[in-house]
Structure 1
Amino acid sequence: MKKIALTSLLLMSALSGVAHADTVYVNGTLHTLTKSDFVQSGNHYSAYIDVVGDNGQQLIFDVDAVVGGNGYQQITYQKICLQMGRWGCVEPDIREIISDDFRYVVELNVSCSGIAIGSDMDNKNEQVDGRVSNKYREVKLLTQNTLVTGGNCQQLKVEVNGLELDSISNISLDVLIAETF
């Protein structure tokens, strides 16, 4: 009977589309997540990590990430007329307009069972002159906090949001939850 209950629980978890990235123990070892541990929706990535050991004590939360991917540069096209004739445009042309603003912005949000832990945002935005050929950028994000959750921290929710970018290609995220000394 226990095997059936465990099997159905695992099956329901797998079918729910929620990424459960194992379990982190208070005062346990550093827990590492990669992009494959997250559920993706566009450029929004979410992972849920069960937490064991919150007994109401003061906890130290340390979550840091490196997020890499391709940035975004707006390119638009404008139709212009190179030569006007008697009945309108004789020689039309389409010009490419390349923005001088390159964008790569990522945000990290961490909460535990609905309790806000922290957030961070970083960018690799830059002013450019012409088309950017190498669009790959990386940002480093860190969220640290010390607080008492009253024993209510049962599941950590980690969200990586690509705010202004083309795509996220890799996520390397470390989680550590410890007691204060």
Structure 2
Amino acid sequence: VYAEVKDLDETTRMQYVDLYFWLVGDILLKTDKMSMAHSLESRVPFLDRRVFDVSATIPTPLKANETQTKLTLREASERAIPKDWAQKEKLGFPVPVVNWLRQDRYYNQVKEWFTGDIAREFFNTDELVRLLDEHKAGADRSRKIWIVYMFLMWYKIYFVDKTVPEKPKAR
């Protein structure tokens, strides 16, 4: 897909790839699933064909630079909303894992997994608890903690509990 637009500038090429992969296979899919799961109607106004067609005519230097994205959109937005809102850094849909892991409820839940039998099969549990304690004390270790925690849950489900039904055997 990237090669299909080899004559365009680098930013536009990346946007093209995003349009065909990231939007469809990730962000729009998540929005659709979560809104439907909670009986919400969701709209993606910037994907309206007329808006998209106009934005496609904007030269790349007016779209983004080395320090900021959505330059034209931000400038236009300042006419309708406060400047600090229009200039706010892009966040996406962050999940507050960093904060959750500092709360006693979730800290204790993860610590129980990190000191359990499954964790001992694969990890130095003292090191896992150290990571968890460092995180609770203020250092951000959330990514490592979350990866190990998800691995332990996955392993328990698929190899210990074997709760996933097996494929039916051919007759």
- In the superposition, the TM-score normalised over structure 2's length comes to 0.20
Bigger share in strand: 1
- In the superposition, the TM-score normalised over structure 1's length comes to 0.19
Higher RCO (C-alpha 8 Å, min separation 6)? 1
Bigger share in helix: 2
